[in-house]
Structure 1
């Protein structure tokens, strides 16, 4: 089988040339586990940090041996778990860049292929969607009267954040993204009221114009500096969800951003750190709520697809440079065989 690995250790933003697709033996089905045929592979920004051993203490894969980390959607081809049988569809955060995955029972979730397109379980119904739902419904508790600001709004997390906020009753949703094409995705597909292009001159003035009455909630994906900018537009008792620091994923040192404590105090702001791992036990609850939104057209998503594991390195490099258009997904194998 094919397996995607690092050619060497990396201490920089990964590029396609850092990866190799090699032949590896098909693993044996583990005790109390399953063998899964990988169909869809999720590519996510945090993996770039993990490849340098800088994400939540998780080790980088061993070069020319270990699979690049990544969530997968696949089909069981052998099972030693009573609750799973051959042909069942599953999702796992532990699959990685390989055509066949050996996974223990605690690392797989059975999914229903009828509730949404299968690839959606790598994106809007996968970890990015769960992240958005957790922040908006469980931490910020968005409802009627809220004005919500989210940066990296064209990404799978940010785009889902704004849509769920709207579904939950927010009065106004404003995004920040880079470039007119991404801003068009945010407004025309995701339905935000406005999107500010941070690459355009005078964008901070336009952000102020888009928030004439301030904001009550902000969802931070980029940096503490952006969070502090959001707070300058915050109403009293605003809620902020600190989800990601993508701006620091590839810097020489870990994030050292200072927070303006005086501004936080003056705004009486409530800031919540979000680590999606805390909400894994509620994944099925999220899918039960979100799948009907997809069916009804309330929750939309965009995908940047590649076909075949060989195409994963190039798509990953695009993702690392913010060139992807929607959720980065590699279709490793056909859904039906």
Structure 2
């Protein structure tokens, strides 16, 4: 038995920052696989994240780039339509990797059941991989708590926005860095940060130094070498630095990011490299903490949603240009 489906794929190999014209939607026929341990799923929302641009170019964690016409990487939240695993039932909601499609068969071992009493899209943002990333960096590496002062860039994004809200919810303060007044207003007014510095203003480094004086205790890096140097400069002695993302460098054709290590020595700083895959087995710890916060309104995120698979390419282009505001999603169904 086969079912018709639609899927977003690459038109050609991508060697620069991806744009909408690099993607197309093709018709598929999904044949039910043989054997047990499979779920037939209907994606509801597709998650688009900054690392995808590097994935598409073959620059992410040593993984090869997807070939034109092959499935693209990324998480979706989906509804189970048919199950060949007694642990799942039709109507269950799961997060899985199914490709950028409106119908797929996926191994049940690669699906994570999620609650249906929370908006489906949130399982890809605050409760999904970006939220897990922020939790891992803030609580498991930097060990944030009462009295900490966090600086975090890309603060209007999901990882940065959740990191600041974690700091606030655990008794600390958060100073965000973002590009433009719209994003800074979001960081303060919706996410509850103590302040947000617009790095597009000429004197933003002075503004940041004043906002965190006499210094931050944690710096959470999402952007790259230039802003990292500023974060380190404003760190207190024995502060902690979490190296999470390098958004400025994902699509650069120059060499790898470089940061002087002398200031880290001078600050006696502890530096943590964060790879979220290490924390996948502990996802339930994050959701146990975060779901009550979500329901109480203490953890939120803005969503940048476009409708239909045909919008996916344009959404990716907006994302890599930094034109998105909040979590970038495609509503599939």
> When the two structures are superposed, what TM-score results if normalisation uses the length of structure 2?
0.96
Question: Structure 1 residue 37 and structure 2 residue 42: aligned?
Answer: yes
Count of paired positions? 328
Residue 74 (structure 1) aligned to one of 64, 71, 78? 78
Match of 2:105 in 1: 102
The answer on whether the counterparts of 1:150 and 1:219 sit within 8 Å (CA) in structure 2 is yes
Distance in 1 of aligned mates of 2:7 and 2:29: 9
Distance 1:277 1:233 in 2: 29
| 1:54 counterpart = 2:59 | yes
- C-alpha distance in structure 1 between counterparts of 2:305 and 2:34, whole Å: 31
Which segment is superposed worse, 40-49 or 30-39?
A: 30-39
Query: 5 Å matches for 1:1-337?
Result: 1-29=5-33, 31=35, 32-63=37-68, 65-92=69-96, 94-114=97-117, 116-170=118-172, 172-253=173-254, 255=256, 257-333=257-333
Q: Compared with structure 1, are the counterparts of its residues 142 and 291 closer, same or farther at alpha carbon in structure 2 (3 Å cutoff)?
A: same
Q: For the Cα contact (< 8 Å) 2:205–2:230, is it kept in 1?
A: no
User: Per-residue displacement from partner, 1:302-330 (whole Å, max 9, x unpaired)?
Assistant: 10011111111111111111001110111
SS at 1:42 equivalent: strand
| Preserved contact between residue 29 and residue 78 of structure 1 (Cα < 8 Å) | no
1:234, CA displacement in angstroms?
0.9
User: How far apart in 2 are the matches of 1:177 and 1:188?
Assistant: 14
In the alignment, structure 2 segments of 5+ residues that lack a partner are: none
CA deviations on 1:41-85 (whole Å, 9 max, x unpaired) are 10111000000111012222221x212211100011122222112
SS of structure 1 residue aligned to 2:58? coil
Kept after mapping to 1: 8 A contact 2:221/2:244: yes
- The whole-number CA distance in structure 2 between the counterparts of 1:253 and 1:199 is 22
Contact 1:183 1:196 in 2 (8 A): yes
SS of the residue 2:29 aligns to: coil
The change in CA–CA distance for 1:289 and 1:30 in structure 2 (over 3 A counts) is farther
The alpha carbon displacement at 1:227 in A equals 1.7
Where in structure 1 are there 5+ consecutive unaligned residues?
A: none
Work out the CA distance in 2 between the residues paired with 1:45 and 1:30.
Answer: 35
**Are the counterparts in 2 of residues 30 and 104 from structure 1 also a CA contact under 8 Å?**
no
- The 2-side partners of 1:187 and 1:243 are apart by 22
In 2, the alpha carbon distance for the partners of 1:320 and 1:27 equals 34
> What's the CA shift string for 1:147-183, capped at 9, x where partnerless?
100000000110111001111111x210100000010
Q: Distance in 1 between matches of 2:309 and 2:267?
A: 48
Cα separation, partners in 2 of 1:30 and 1:17, compared to 1, 3 Å: farther
List structure 1 segments (4+ residues) > 3 angstroms apart after TM superposition. Answer: none
**Are the counterparts in 1 of residues 132 and 276 from structure 2 also a CA contact under 8 Å?**
yes
RMSD: 1.2
Contact 2:176 2:193 in 1 (8 A): yes
The Cα offsets for residues 171-223 of structure 1, whole Å up to 9 and x where unpaired, read as x2101000000100011111111111111111111111111120000100011
